[in-house]
Amino acid sequence: MEKRNGLRVILFPLPLQGCINPMLQLANILHSRGFSITVIHTRFNAPKASSHPLFTFLQISDGLSESQINDAPTSNVMSLLAQINCSTESPFRDCLRKLLVESQESEKISCLIDDCGWLFTQSVSESLNLPRLVLCTFKATFLNAYPILPLLRTKYLHVSASEAEDPVLEFPPLQKRDISRIFGKEGEKLDPVLRIVVETTIRSSGLIFMSCEELEKDSLTLAKEIYKVPIFAIGPFHSYFSASSSSLFKQDETCIPWLDNQEDKSVIYVSLGSVVNITETEFLDIACGLSNSKHPFLWVVRPGLVLGAKWIEPLSEGIMRSLEEKGKIVKWAPQQEVLAHRAIGGFLTHNGWNSTLESICEGVPMICLPGGLDQMLNSRFVSDIWRVGIHSEGRIEKNEIEKAVKMLMVESEGEKIRERLKFLKDEVARSVKHGD
């Protein structure tokens, strides 16, 4: 058992799968360095305390009704988060104040670490004289753009077809057509959120990124200039504890023995994450594209992924028969284990930062189907800067899916991508090793 250092860290993750995983991975890293861990969390998307018996978990009220918590569609997550941000400040303050009083008789609380998506925690920590460190669960490059994103949204609100592929000089390597997809339907609603995040981060005691200089050296330097706080880029968190996933969904473990029966690097893994939604037409196009590619595939279809459907009901019997010949469909998969499997040869992904990092660390080339927000930036880096994947350019069409799978899995361009990715993988691995 690791020796304790007499200090406790309070962690407060944003209640999204892509935010909870990094926070608890960071908790594992800190615990291995001797810190005791307390995790404050909401009822909505509560992490599984039983998976982390060495940590203390404290649940606070989030202002949501039972029906909102139990039946919340993933298409409504952003509005739920906005509601939670408005109703959680008082319960959080009371919980934190109580912990500080109790700590006077036991371990000293060294700091609060919370997600940059919480808009009230800086004020609370200041009122209680507790240092607050901000965890950014996406690329530093994207956080650096927060001060100018509202201006870019207005400037590139209407882009002509002839301008669509022009570079955004203020925010490389994005193209002008990417800006509207970053914001999606939220538009002006995100502007005040971005402003508050910038203001509160500047007032914090430091920024933690799950990134490294090998991936974004210039951006990390710029982040220090913009936010004027210490920067801690400690690499992909999951690399320290490879089995430290904290899935909110039940993982279908049957996909591992299925992969065991496939040839090396023959399977395309398909997963669009825990929040992205697609239309029924896009869903059917992915299905037909995978079937027509004639390559084995493991496809994660999260319940609620397809707008207007509970699961895979839009698939006809004929399509299902063709899919079953080559592939396997599951509701959720142990992604880190899947990407590390010898049978996986490619990853069709939404390019969330967690998924992008995991794919790089396992040397799995990507087909990029970004949904919005930072996924647009991640996918541009994958395809245009690191050149370790193929960009769909927003086209979820069966012919494009089939073409991309074949290019990645069997054509010479796929081999070139793998060679570049092997180099990038080794660079990132060295950064984590140096950080031990």
What is the rounded CA–CA span in Å between residue 393 and residue 380? 10
> Is residue 162 one of the residues assigned to a domain?
yes
**Amino acid at site 301:** V
Domain's final residue, options 204, 239, 274: 239
pTM for this entry = 0.92
What mean pLDDT value characterizes the chain? 91
Q: What is the mean pLDDT of residues 94-100?
A: 95
- Cβ atoms of residues 266 and 64 within 8 Å: no
3-state DSSP assignment of residue 83: helix
Token representation of residue 118: 């919480």
Residues 355 and 287 in one domain: yes
Token representation of residue 381: 């880096």
Q: What is the mean pLDDT of residues 305-331?
A: 91
Residues 234 and 259 in one domain: no
Token representation of residue 51: 């998976």
Long-range CB contacts (within 8 A, 24+) of 187-194:
187/153, 188/153, 189/82, 190/149, 190/150, 190/153, 191/149, 191/150, 191/153, 193/119, 194/146, 194/147, 194/149, 194/150
- Cβ atoms of residues 324 and 294 within 8 Å: no
> Is residue 245 one of the residues assigned to a domain?
no
> Is residue 1 one of the residues assigned to a domain?
no
Q: What is the CATH number of the domain that holds 280?
A: 3.40.50.2000
φ, ψ (nearest 5 deg) of residue 81:
-65, -40
> Is residue 230 one of the residues assigned to a domain?
yes
Residues 55 and 106 in one domain: yes
Token representation of residue 75: 């298409």
pLDDT at 373 over 80: yes
Give the residue from 280, 257, 291, 282 showing the smallest Cα distance to 405.
291
> Is residue 302 one of the residues assigned to a domain?
yes
Q: What is the mean pLDDT of residues 331-344?
A: 95
- Residue 188's pLDDT is 81
Question: What are the residues whose beta carbons fall under 8 Å from the beta carbon of 433, sequence distance 6 or more?
Answer: none
Residues 212 and 133 in one domain: yes
- Residue 220's pLDDT is 96
Residues 136 and 44 in one domain: yes
Residues 209 and 291 in one domain: no
Residue 339: pLDDT band with limits 50, 70, 90 = very high
Residues 62 and 180 in one domain: yes
- Cβ atoms of residues 132 and 40 within 8 Å: no
Helices (H), 203-269: 213-227, 255-260
Residues 420 and 301 in one domain: yes
Residues 25 and 164 in one domain: yes
> Is residue 46 one of the residues assigned to a domain?
yes
Give the model confidence (pLDDT) of 136-148 as tens digits. Answer: 999 999 999 999 9
Neighbours of 16 (CB within 10 A): 23
Q: Which residue has the tokens 């996986």?
A: 344
- Residue 187's pLDDT is 76
What is the side-by-side order of every strand in the sheet holding 297-300?
327-330, 297-300, 267-271, 344-349, 366-368, 389-391
pLDDT at 385 over 70: yes
Domain's final residue, options 206, 239, 272: 239
Residues 298 and 234 in one domain: no
Q: What is the mean pLDDT of residues 369-387?
A: 94
- Cβ atoms of residues 12 and 114 within 8 Å: yes
What is the rounded CA–CA span in Å between residue 224 and residue 245? 29
> Is residue 141 one of the residues assigned to a domain?
yes
For residue 179, what are the domain limits? 7-239
Token representation of residue 106: 């036991």
Which neighbouring-strand residues pair with 132? 112
- Cβ atoms of residues 60 and 88 within 8 Å: yes
- Residue 1's pLDDT is 46
Give the model confidence (pLDDT) of 210-263 as tens digits. Answer: 999 999 999 999 999 999 999 999 989 888 876 555 777 889 899 999 999 999
Provide the sign of the torsion angle of the four alpha carbons 167, 169, 172, 177, taken in this order.
negative
pLDDT at 166 over 70: yes
Residues 201 and 124 in one domain: yes
Q: Which residue has the tokens 């997963």?
A: 271
Domain's final residue, options 239, 266, 287: 239
What is the rounded CA–CA span in Å between residue 384 and residue 389? 8
Q: What is the mean pLDDT of residues 302-321?
A: 91
Give the model confidence (pLDDT) of 150-163 as tens digits. Answer: 999 999 988 899 99
φ, ψ (nearest 5 deg) of residue 99:
-65, -40
Total number of domains constituting the chain: 2
Residues 227 and 259 in one domain: no
- Residue 82's pLDDT is 85
Kindly write down the DSSP assignment for every residue of 370-424, as one continuous string. Answer: --STHHHHHHHIIIIIS--EEE-TT---HHHHHHHHHHHHTSHHHHHHHHHHHHH
Token representation of residue 280: 């029924």
pLDDT at 51 over 60: yes
Q: Pairing between strand 108-115 and 389-391?
A: unpaired
Q: Which residue has the tokens 């997809």?
A: 181
> Is residue 249 one of the residues assigned to a domain?
no
Token representation of residue 13: 């993750």
Residue 80: pLDDT band with limits 50, 70, 90 = confident
Q: What is the mean pLDDT of residues 394-403?
A: 89
DSSP 329: E
